[in-house]
């Protein structure tokens, strides 16, 4: 596969490059302008064909479009699960993964594509309005400006909700918009049972492309089982961080090379509920390809750890942050995750008991919270400890001698 790079200029308020490997779809047009207003959007993508529910579902089924927010749930299944009666579409643009910027790149630089998909979906399921939930003013301004340009923009509401890893979870966003605290509810019930469809920003942009292309053309790139492209936010020890659009199934080595990653030590994929994988160039960046390597596409995050940082220290730092992000409503978050963070910190400091204790605490939290945060955090830690077993040995025998450079970002990135 040839890496064909499109590198548009930096956009105002967003110091990230957006580029593609192969022909861009979601990022099309950004090689010519930092932001696509409605005329530029229509010149790039053309008008959106009218669509009813039958066509939306048939196209989604045919193209096997999975959600791009983290869970990878098929969008068509979510639509079919909607309870009858009053329907609501919420686009979750909170993007609370610290290493992820792809949704904000879409909303700030090519907002009409996401709005096309969300409004088409809203129309198809019989919802009156679309609510776009974001956590920062710059993104809100961009989406509001786009809505005012469109004849159907009166059906778009933009709401700023609290930022935070757990408060960006779909059910927490629904609760916030409905006037409650920005926390997941105390039970694992999907919003669809109340007629609420929470969709990711990239998922809506993908739907807009699919409705224009049709399933046949949509499948001209990607893999037979996972057609199309996906967005990745690439960061860490790379010379060219940014948001990159790739055909699904692109080998990891091509992305690492295009991002100017020299001598990677490990790669975190999917985000902080994702996994650590070895930097093996042949690994295919698709849900199936990553699963066979012990990884996950998740939220489309790809962070490279260089050999110049202490990877175990990086893991301890993120684990501590994940423990602090919980709402502490449930036992696994009140006790389990802080204990797990202490274990990894102890291991990084060379205490052998940290390893067995970490495995025990990870098992203890699994499946016991009211949301997926403890499970996801425990999986992330376990995959890191498995991949870094040589590092663990080094730390048990005096340490690796490298500083913790913070190549894995933590906190809310504007």
* Contact (CB, 8 A) for 278 and 387: yes
**Which residues 17-36 are close enough to bind ligand SF4 by CB under 6 A?**
none
Q: State which of residues 112, 361, 373, 402 lies at the interface with ligand SF4 (CB under 6 A).
A: 373
Q: Cβ closer to ligand SF4: 149 or 366?
A: 366
Is residue 281 within 8 Å of residue 293, measured between CB atoms?
A: no
Residue 374 found at the interface with ligand SF4 (CB under 6 A) = yes
DSSP string for 63-84:
HTPBPSSSS--BHHHHHHTPPS
Phi and psi of 170, rounded to 5°?
-55, -45
Indicate which single residue of 107, 341, 371, 388 sits in contact with ligand SF4 (rule: CB under 6 A): 371
Beta bridge partners of 156: 130
Of residues 51 through 80, those in contact with ligand SF4 by CB under 6 A are none
The one among 18, 90, 143, 166 contacting ligand SF4 by CB under 6 A: 166
| Structure-derived torsion over alpha carbons of residues 22, 6, 105, 74, reported in degrees to the nearest 10 | 0
| Minimum CB distance to ligand SF4, residue 175 (Å) | 11
Smallest gap from residue 330 Cβ to ligand SF4 (A): 3
Per DSSP, the residues of 312-368 read HHHHHHHHHHHHHHS---SHIIIIIHHHHHHHHHHHHTT-THHHHHHHHHHHHHTT-
Closest CB to ligand SF4 belongs to which residue? 369
- Which is nearer to ligand SF4, 196 or 371 (by Cβ)? 371
* CA distances, 115 to each of 51, 133, 152 (Å): 14, 13, 10
Q: Cβ closer to ligand SF4: 116 or 325?
A: 325
| Minimum distance of ligand SF4 from residue 363's CB (angstroms) | 16
| Selected range binding ligand SF4 among 120-128, 272-280, 302-310, 370-378, rule: CB under 6 A | 370-378
Q: Which stretch binds ligand SF4 (CB under 6 A): 108-116, 238-246, 369-377, 389-397?
A: 369-377
Euclidean distance between CA atoms 224 and 226, whole angstroms:
6
Which residue in 94, 98, 166 sits closest to 323, CA to CA?
Answer: 166
Please, which of residues 172-191 interact with ligand SF4 by CB under 6 A?
A: 183-184
Residues 321-350 that bind ligand SF4 (CB under 6 A): 326-330, 332-333
- The footprint of ligand SF4 on this chain (CB under 6 A) covers a number of residues equal to 15
Whether the CB-CB separation of 398 and 378 falls below 8 Å is answered with no
**SS3 of residue 100 by DSSP:** coil
Taking the CA atoms of the chain, what radius of gyration do you get in angstroms? 21
| Site membership for ligand SF4, residue 315 (CB under 6 A) | no
Task: Fill in the per-residue mask, 218 to 257: x = in contact with ligand SF4 (CB under 6 A), - = not in contact.
Answer: ----------------------------------------
Residue number, 255 or 333, with CB nearest to ligand SF4 = 333
Smallest CA-to-CA distance from 289 within 236, 331, 252 is with: 252
H or E stretch including 267? Answer: strand 264-269
Q: Among 22, 369, 384, 409, indicate the residue that binds ligand SF4 (CB under 6 A).
A: 369
Q: What does the binding site for ligand SF4 look like in residue numbers (CB under 6 A)?
A: 166, 183-184, 326-330, 332-333, 369-371, 373-374
């Amino acid at each position: 596969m040839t890496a064909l790079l499109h590198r548009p200029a930096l956009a105002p308020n967003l110091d990230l490059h957006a580029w593609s490997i192969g022909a861009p779809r979601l990022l099309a047009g950004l090689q010519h302008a930092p932001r696509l207003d409605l005329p530029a959007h229509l010149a790039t993508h053309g008008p959106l064909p009218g669509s009813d529910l039958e066509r939306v579902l048939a196209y989604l089924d045919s193209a096997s479009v999975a959600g791009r927010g983290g869970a990878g749930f098929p969008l068509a299944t979510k639509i079919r699960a909607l309870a009858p009666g009053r329907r609501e579409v919420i686009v979750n643009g909170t993007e609370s993964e610290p290493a992820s910027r792809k949704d904000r790149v879409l909303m700030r630089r090519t907002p009409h594509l996401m709005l096309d998909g969300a409004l088409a979906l809203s129309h198809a399921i019989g919802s009156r309005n679309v609510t776009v939930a974001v956590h920062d003013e710059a993104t809100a301004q961009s989406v509001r400006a786009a809505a005012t340009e469109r004849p159907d923009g009166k059906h778009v509401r933009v709401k700023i909700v609290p930022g935070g890893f757990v408060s960006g979870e779909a059910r927490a966003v629904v609760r916030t918009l409905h006037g409650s605290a920005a926390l997941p509810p105390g039970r694992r019930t999907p919003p669809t049972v109340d007629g609420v469809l929470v969709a990711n920003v990239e998922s809506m942009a993908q739907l807009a492309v699919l409705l224009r292309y049709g399933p046949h053309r949509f499948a001209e790139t990607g893999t037979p089982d996972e057609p199309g492209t996906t967005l990745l936010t690439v960061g860490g020890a790379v010379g060219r961080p940014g948001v990159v659009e790739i055909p699904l199934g692109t080998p990891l080595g091509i992305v690492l090379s295009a991002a100017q990653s020299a001598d990677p030590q490990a790669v975190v994929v999917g985000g902080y509920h994702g996994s650590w994988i070895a930097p093996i160039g042949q690994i295919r960046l698709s849900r199936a390809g990553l699963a066979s390597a012990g990884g996950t596409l998740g939220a489309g995050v790809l962070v490279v750890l260089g050999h110049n940082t202490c990877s175990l220290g990086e893991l301890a730092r993120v684990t501590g942050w994940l423990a602090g992000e919980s709402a502490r409503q449930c036992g696994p978050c009140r006790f389990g995750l802080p204990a797990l963070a202490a274990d990894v910190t102890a291991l990084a400091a060379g205490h052998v008991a940290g390893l067995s204790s970490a495995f025990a605490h990870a098992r203890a939290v699994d499946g016991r919270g009211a949301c997926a945060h403890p499970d996801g955090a425990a999986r992330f830690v376990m995959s890191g400890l498995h991949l870094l077993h040589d590092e663990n040995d080094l730390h048990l025998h005096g340490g690796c001698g490298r500083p913790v450079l913070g190549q894995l970002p933590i906190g809310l990135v504007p």
